[in-house]
């Protein structure tokens, strides 16, 4: 989330000011998000994705959590030959995303699937070189087996907002009751993948935390 970084505010400002801003259509979508207080990935995460996509050259990307389509459009711009499938269940966000994709997905790279990822993931086929989750954090651990099954041989999984503004460090019973399900889900995820020889993992202090997962084939 843009307004919950755990890195010092001065450093966050510096990263966002010094790195090339988004322009053109992406800037239009970003401005709408900011004016309407709609969370999208922050600029330091955008820049990381742009570089990562240039490096791995994905042919297919799966995104869980479309929101208004900003990140899907950003990835499409970074990989103009790539097919992108994005999933969302929030009808208000879906309508905004449809509008943005109709205007700005000029190469028709992006397919928006409407519904719950828990239902839709099992219906997908083929392999994806990048799976990006930016949806219900409590469900990341449940989505993980599907993502692994859909992942190409050298593919990677990225999960956003895993720090929860530092709440992952707080004992679960000290967290607000309505946030505990989310926190329990994240902690189950950490138990599953961190320090597990089946996976290579990297936690990046970008935005509210980004977790990268790759099956360990060694």
Q: Environment class of residue 134 by beta-carbon count within 10 Å: exposed (0-12), middle (13-18) or buried (19+)?
A: buried
* The two structure tokens encoding residue 86: 């994005």
As a whole number of angstroms, the distance between CA 104 and CA 101 comes to 5
Q: What residues form the annotated binding site for S-adenosyl-L-methionine?
A: 41, 71, 88, 116-117, 134
Q: CA neighbours within 13 Å on the CB side: how many for 10? A: 0
* The two structure tokens encoding residue 81: 């030959």
Q: What residues form the annotated binding site?
A: 41, 71, 88, 116-117, 134
């Amino acid at each position: 989330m843009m307004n919950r970084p755990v890195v010092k505010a001065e450093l966050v400002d510096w990263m966002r000011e010094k790195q090339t801003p988004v322009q053109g259509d992406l800037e239009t979508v970003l401005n709408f998000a900011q004016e309407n207080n709609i969370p999208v990935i922050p600029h330091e995460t955008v820049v990381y994705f742009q570089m990562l996509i240039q490096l791995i050259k994905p042919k297919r990307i799966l995104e869980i959590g479309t929101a208004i389509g900003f990140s899907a459009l950003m990835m499409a711009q970074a990989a103009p030959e790539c097919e992108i499938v994005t999933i969302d269940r929030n009808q208000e966000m879906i309508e905004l995303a449809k509008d943005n994709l109709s205007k700005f997905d000029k190469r028709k790279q992006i397919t928006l699937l409407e519904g719950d990822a828990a239902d839709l993931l099992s219906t997908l086929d083929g392999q994806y070189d990048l799976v990006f989750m930016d949806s219900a954090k409590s469900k990341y651990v449940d989505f993980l087996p599907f993502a692994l099954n859909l992942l190409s041989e050298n593919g990677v999984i990225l999960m956003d907002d895993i720090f929860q503004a530092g709440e992952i460090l707080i004992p679960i019973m000290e967290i607000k009751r309505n946030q505990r399900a989310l926190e329990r889900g994240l902690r189950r995820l950490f138990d599953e993948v961190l320090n597990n020889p089946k996976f290579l993992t990297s936690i990046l202090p970008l935005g509210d935390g980004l977790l990268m997962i790759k099956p360990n084939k060694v």
